[in-house]
């Protein structure tokens, strides 16, 4: 699994012109799932996400987590995170998991993150054409791949 995490002052996702999810200060997270992902990836990444210290403390040092600042999370599925651009100019998505694998894993990931937060995770809709808006705070953007945890 791969996450692109952006610290935001606000973020939202629209589907067919209607807001599906919206948050204030917190994290907007793009989630990419590949064929080989499983429960261990979900457990590791959900713990890493909620404990990642990328919010400023009283000395303006990134030393606080989403839990410490009582922020919100918006999770958006994004199969294009697993694009391969080695050959030619058209990305290949062969490593991205097919919906029969990725939908249940995405839903488990949302549930896992939800279980670690006092507020409910906001989401987009898997496979939908989504319009994501955000104000990146910092800017702070972190990429984490569960396959690179060792």
Structure confidence at residue 149 (pLDDT): 83
Spatial separation of the C-alpha atoms in residues 11 and 118, rounded to whole Å: 19
Write down the catalytic residue from 6, 22, 55, 78. 78
Spatial separation of the C-alpha atoms in residues 140 and 32, rounded to whole Å: 19
Write down the catalytic residue from 6, 79, 122, 123. 79
CB 9 within 8 A of CB 135: yes
Q: Give yes or no for residue 150 having a pLDDT over 80.
A: no
Give me the percent of the chain exceeding a pLDDT of 90: 89
Q: Give yes or no for residue 60 having a pLDDT over 80.
A: yes
Q: Give yes or no for residue 116 having a pLDDT over 90.
A: yes
Structure confidence at residue 64 (pLDDT): 98
The number of CA neighbours under 13 Å toward the Cβ of 95 is 17
Quick: pLDDT tens for 14-25: 999 999 999 999
Q: Give yes or no for residue 121 having a pLDDT over 80.
A: yes
Q: Give yes or no for residue 39 having a pLDDT over 90.
A: yes
Say whether 78 is catalytic.
yes
Give me the percent of the chain exceeding a pLDDT of 70: 100
Say whether 80 is catalytic.
yes
- Please give the mean pLDDT across all residues of the chain: 95
Structure confidence at residue 95 (pLDDT): 87
In terms of residue numbers, what domain contains 113? 2-148
Query: How many domains does the structure of the chain reveal?
Result: 1
Report the CATH number at residue 59: 3.50.80.10
Which two three-digit tokens encode residue 60?
Answer: 């303006």
Write down the catalytic residue from 39, 80, 119, 141. 80
Which two three-digit tokens encode residue 81?
Answer: 């995170």
- Are β-strands 55-56 and 62-64 bridged in parallel, bridged antiparallel, or unpaired? antiparallel
Say whether 55 is catalytic.
no
Quick: pLDDT tens for 65-92: 999 999 999 999 999 998 889 888 999 9
């Amino acid at each position: 699994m791969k996450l692109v995490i952006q610290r935001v002052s606000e973020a939202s996702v629209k589907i067919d012109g209607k807001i599906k999810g919206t948050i204030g200060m917190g994290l907007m997270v793009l989630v990419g799932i590949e064929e080989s992902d499983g429960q261990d990836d979900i457990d590791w990444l959900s713990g890493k996400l909620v404990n990642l210290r990328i919010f400023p403390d009283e000395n303006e040092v990134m030393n606080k987590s989403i839990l410490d600042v009582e922020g919100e999370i918006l999770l958006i599925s994004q199969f294009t995170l697993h694009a391969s651009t080695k050959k030619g100019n058209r990305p290949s998505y062969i490593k991205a998991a097919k919906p029969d694998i990725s939908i249940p894993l995405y839903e488990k990931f949302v549930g896992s993150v939800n279980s670690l937060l006092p507020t409910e995770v906001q989401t987009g809709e898997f496979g939908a054409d989504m319009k994501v808006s955000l104000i990146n705070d910092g800017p702070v953007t972190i990429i984490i791949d569960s396959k690179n945890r060792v």
